[in-house]
Amino acid sequence: MSAGTYSMGDRIPVASIADTTAALAEVVLPTFAKGVIIRRPKVMRLAERMDLDRRAVRRMQKLRETYGDGPLMLRLPLRNQALILSPGDVQRVLEGTPHPFSPASAEKTAALAHLEPKASLISEGPERTERRRFNEEVLDSRRDVHRMAGHFMEVVGQEAAGMLEAARAQKELSWDEFFTGWYRIVRRVVLGDAARDDYELTDMLAKLRAAGNWAFLHPGHKGRLERFHRRVDEHLRRAEPGTLAAVIAATPHTPETAPSHQVAHWFFAFDPGGMSTFRGLALLLAHPEQEARARREIAEAGPGGRANLPFLRAAILEALRLWPTTPVILRETREETLWRGGAMPKDTSVLIFAPFFHRDDANLPHADTFHPDLWLDGPRQGGWPLVPFSGGPGICPARNLVPMLGSATIAALLASGRLALKDPSRLDASRPMPALLDNYTLAFVPHS
Ligand code: HEM
């Protein structure tokens, strides 16, 4: 049954052609143009200047005003596409993962097949169960502080010192400098010191990810894909003490586990981890009272306590609320599902647009301000969905590891001196926070 056979009334509402076109132009297209697998810096710059993300949220609000709280089907000729518009439905879809709402949507599978065809996110059935278990165990999903945190903190301290040294020499901490240091941390944490300067590994990954941006349209790079996985396997075999590779070696796996495919996903996903850390630092520096609070927390914890800094973690979570790095959470229905408005057919692509919920000023009092307490009081505002790491059984298994490493990095940078935003007008605490903060052009200046 196609979405076109449904109409208002006993069936799920279907958007008019004009509203469908507007949703595609203002919500879907800009999100994909920015690059879902690897960001396109030029488009990011343009999107910040043109305030495209705010327009997307406004468009979603208008759709809710017109059609009620959904789900809403778009009027498309070749596919069934639903938009989720209410908090209860977000919860239903996320809790109903992986069945009937499978995370292995056709788009994700096409995009990630270039890089990690056996990743948990695009697996189904028993293979997904095994790969998800493996991810949760190795990444210590349910613990605030990873079991290898002691070693990770040493790595973060050393590499943050390197970032600062370069920043002092160049009189600024640019994204490129930060990102180079961040990926040194990532390679050392995941694979060990011997991988610290394996830039080729990260370059191969970037090229495979760029192919992923074109999903169905790209022929792929079979040779490079094999080389990449071989290289990851070589690093994993060393199982350097203190690393995730050592945890992998000690974690049972089956022939289905495909550790190098899970690790490929981690490498790619640490990219948004870096973005949110850099943006979290910017948020703190733009809000002097919050910076003072962060400095107090860092001082009280001391260098040995940096694995657990709740306030700094909350700053990173706020960066992810304000500028979610996974703006679109996609599911695909594996059977017909029933909703208030009627039935939604099997094989419908269901889209949760995180910025709509994170920045909905009609429902969230702090929608456009930096408000870390939102996360300290509990991760949900009166049941309102804040889903930078998704939710339910498909929630990101690194939801604790990322803020742990990011907050320790910010702590190490702040503890060694003073930094200021290079262009303070981009993040003015007296104004609403911008709809997008392009991390590529963000920079900090060290001062005494
Ligand atoms: C800021 C950084 C990150 C954010 C915002 C983030 C967010 C997310 C989100 C929203 C999902 C669900 C995607 C979906 O349902 O389509 C997800 C899944 C996943 N993430 Fe992350 N992630 C981040 C970093 C990481 C890192 C660093 C790792 C590994 C070290 C990781 C491992 C995973 C895995 C394995 C999945 C798939 C889970 C499954 O199959 O159920 N993520 N992440």
CA of 189 to the centre of ligand 1 (A): 17
CA of 447 to the centre of ligand 1 (A): 36
Helices (H), 302-400: 310-322, 354-358, 373-376
Quick one: 365 exposed, middle or buried, by C-beta within 10 A (0-12, 13-18, 19+)? Answer: exposed
Q: Is the CB of 139 under 6 A from ligand 1?
A: yes
Residue-level pLDDT at 30: 84
Contact status, residue 149 vs residue 400, Cβ threshold 8 Å: no
Q: What is the CATH number of the domain that holds 247?
A: 1.10.630.10
Q: Is the CB of 278 under 6 A from ligand 1?
A: no
Atom number of ligand 1 nearest to Cα 406: 1
Q: Identify the residue whose C-alpha is closest to ligand 1 atom 40.
A: 121
Q: Identify the residue whose C-alpha is closest to ligand 1 atom 21.
A: 396
Contact status, residue 44 vs residue 442, Cβ threshold 8 Å: no
For residue 434, is the peptide bond before it cis, meaning its omega torsion is within 30 degrees of 0? no
Q: Is the CB of 294 under 6 A from ligand 1?
A: no
CA of 390 to the centre of ligand 1 (A): 8
* 237: number of Cβ within 10 Å: 9
Q: Identify the residue whose C-alpha is closest to ligand 1 atom 26.
A: 269
Q: Identify the residue whose C-alpha is closest to ligand 1 atom 30.
A: 266
CA dihedral (410, 414, 416, 418) positive or negative? positive
Q: Is the CB of 104 under 6 A from ligand 1?
A: no
CA of 413 to the centre of ligand 1 (A): 25
Q: Is the CB of 397 under 6 A from ligand 1?
A: yes
Q: Identify the residue whose C-alpha is closest to ligand 1 atom 4.
A: 389
Q: Is the CB of 265 under 6 A from ligand 1?
A: yes
Atom number of ligand 1 nearest to Cα 394: 41
CA of 135 to the centre of ligand 1 (A): 10
CA 39 to CA 269: how far, in whole Å? 12
* 216: number of Cβ within 10 Å: 10
Q: Identify the residue whose C-alpha is closest to ligand 1 atom 37.
A: 121
Atom number of ligand 1 nearest to Cα 329: 16
Q: Is the CB of 388 under 6 A from ligand 1?
A: yes
CA of 103 to the centre of ligand 1 (A): 11
Secondary structure class of 138 (helix, strand, coil): helix
Atom number of ligand 1 nearest to Cα 326: 10
Q: Is the CB of 112 under 6 A from ligand 1?
A: no
Q: Identify the residue whose C-alpha is closest to ligand 1 atom 7.
A: 389
CA 287 to CA 428: how far, in whole Å? 8
Q: Is the CB of 321 under 6 A from ligand 1?
A: no
**Which range of residues forms the domain containing residue 225?**
3-447
- Residue type, position 157, single letter: G
Q: Is the CB of 266 under 6 A from ligand 1?
A: yes
Residue-level pLDDT at 380: 55
Q: Report the domain count for the chain.
A: 1
CA of 448 to the centre of ligand 1 (A): 38
Residue 150 CB partners (closer than 8 Å, separation 6+): 242, 307
pLDDT (tens digit, 0 to 9) for every residue of the chain, 448 residues total? Answer: 333 344 444 578 999 999 999 999 999 888 877 766 667 787 778 777 778 889 999 999 999 999 999 899 999 988 899 999 999 999 999 999 999 999 998 888 888 887 888 999 999 999 999 999 999 999 999 999 999 999 999 999 999 999 999 999 999 999 999 999 999 999 999 999 999 999 999 888 888 877 665 554 445 567 778 888 899 999 999 999 999 999 999 999 999 999 999 999 999 899 999 999 999 999 999 999 999 999 999 999 999 999 999 999 999 999 999 999 999 999 999 999 999 889 999 999 999 999 999 999 999 989 999 999 999 976 556 678 999 999 999 999 999 999 999 999 999 999 988 899 999 999 999 999 999 999 999 999 998 6
Look up tokens 């509990």; give the residue.
Answer: 378
Q: Identify the residue whose C-alpha is closest to ligand 1 atom 20.
A: 396
- Please report how many Cα atoms fall inside a 13 Å half-sphere around the Cα of residue 18, on the Cβ side: 2
CA of 132 to the centre of ligand 1 (A): 11
Residue-level pLDDT at 2: 37
Q: Is the CB of 158 under 6 A from ligand 1?
A: no
Which residue among 329, 396, 405 is best mutated to probe the pocket of ligand 1, counting the most ligand atoms within 8 A of its Cβ?
A: 396
